[in-house]
Structure 1
Amino acid sequence: MSRDNLNDLLAFVTIAREGSFTRAAAQLGVSQSALSHTMRELEARLGIRLLTRTTRSVSMTEAGEHLYESVAPRLEDIQAELAMMGQFRDTPVGTVRINTTGHAADLYVWPRLSSMLPQYPQLKVEVAVDYGLTDIVAQRFDIGIRLGEHLARDMIAVPVSPPQRIAVVATPAYFATHGIPRTPQELVTHNCIGMRLPTHGGLLPWEFDRDGVQYKSRVEGQWIFNGSAPALRAALAGVGLAYLPEDLMHEHLAAGRLQRVLEDWCEPYDGYYAYYPSRRQASRALQVVIEALRHPAG
Structure 2
Amino acid sequence: MDRDTWGDMAVLAAIVEAGGFSRAAPVLGVSASALSHRVKALESRLGVRLLNRTTRSVAPTEAGERLLARLRPAIAEIDLAIADLDADRGRPSGRVRVTTHRSAAFELVLPKLRRFSTDYPEIVVELVIDDGLVDIVAAGFDAGIRRAPSLEKDMVSIRLDEGDTLYVVAAPSYIAQFGTPQHPQDLTGHNCLNFRYPSARFIHRWTFERDGQTLALDAPGTFVTSDNDLLLACAREGVGVTIVLQRHVAPYLASGELVRVLEDWHYHVPPNHLYYAGRLNQPPALRAFIDAMKAP
TM-score by length of 2: 0.66
- 1:40 is aligned to none
- 1:19 is aligned to none
CA distance 1:280–1:232, change in 2 (3 Å): farther
Distance 1:209 1:200 in 2: 25
Identity %: 35
CA distance 1:118–1:193, change in 2 (3 Å): same
- 1:141 is aligned to 141
Please provide the CA RMSD for this pair: 2.6
Distance 2:151 2:83 in 1: 37
CA distance 1:255–1:281, change in 2 (3 Å): farther
TM-superposed CA distance for 1:173, in Å, is 2.1
Distance 1:176 1:257 in 2: 13
Distance 1:243 1:198 in 2: 17
Aligned pair count reads 217
TM-superposed CA distance for 1:156, in Å, is 1.0
- 1:289 is aligned to 289
DSSP 3-state at the match of 1:86: helix
Distance 2:244 2:216 in 1: 15
Distance 1:186 1:155 in 2: 40
- 2:208 is aligned to 208
Distance 2:105 2:285 in 1: 19
- 2:218 is aligned to 218
1:245 aligns with 2:274: no
- 2:101 is aligned to 101
DSSP 3-state at the match of 2:197: coil
TM-superposed CA distance for 1:123, in Å, is 1.8
- 2:179 is aligned to 179
CA distance 1:267–1:202, change in 2 (3 Å): closer
What CA deviation, in whole Å up to 9, does each residue of 1:158-209 have, x standing for no partner?
Answer: 1122122211112222222222212101111211101222576443221111
User: Are the equivalent residues in 2 in contact too, given 1:167–1:243 (CA < 8 A)?
Assistant: yes
Which amino acid counterpart does residue 109 of structure 1 have in structure 2?
Answer: V
CA distance 1:205–1:120, change in 2 (3 Å): same
Distance 1:82 1:269 in 2: 40
- 2:117 is aligned to 117
* Structure 1: segments with no counterpart, 5+ residues: 2-80
User: Are the equivalent residues in 2 in contact too, given 1:88–1:283 (CA < 8 A)?
Assistant: no
TM-superposed CA distance for 1:113, in Å, is 2.1
Q: Greater strand percent: which structure?
A: 2
DSSP 3-state at the match of 1:90: coil
Which amino acid counterpart does residue 271 of structure 2 have in structure 1?
Answer: G
* Structure 2: segments with no counterpart, 5+ residues: 2-80
DSSP 3-state at the match of 2:264: helix
User: Are the equivalent residues in 2 in contact too, given 1:156–1:278 (CA < 8 A)?
Assistant: yes
CA distance 1:101–1:212, change in 2 (3 Å): same
DSSP 3-state at the match of 2:167: strand
What CA deviation, in whole Å up to 9, does each residue of 1:106-162 have, x standing for no partner?
Answer: 222222224432332212111111122211011111111111011111111011221
TM-superposed CA distance for 1:230, in Å, is 2.1
TM-superposed CA distance for 1:280, in Å, is 4.6
CA distance 1:129–1:238, change in 2 (3 Å): same
Distance 2:178 2:89 in 1: 60
- The structure having more radius of gyration, on CA atoms, is 1
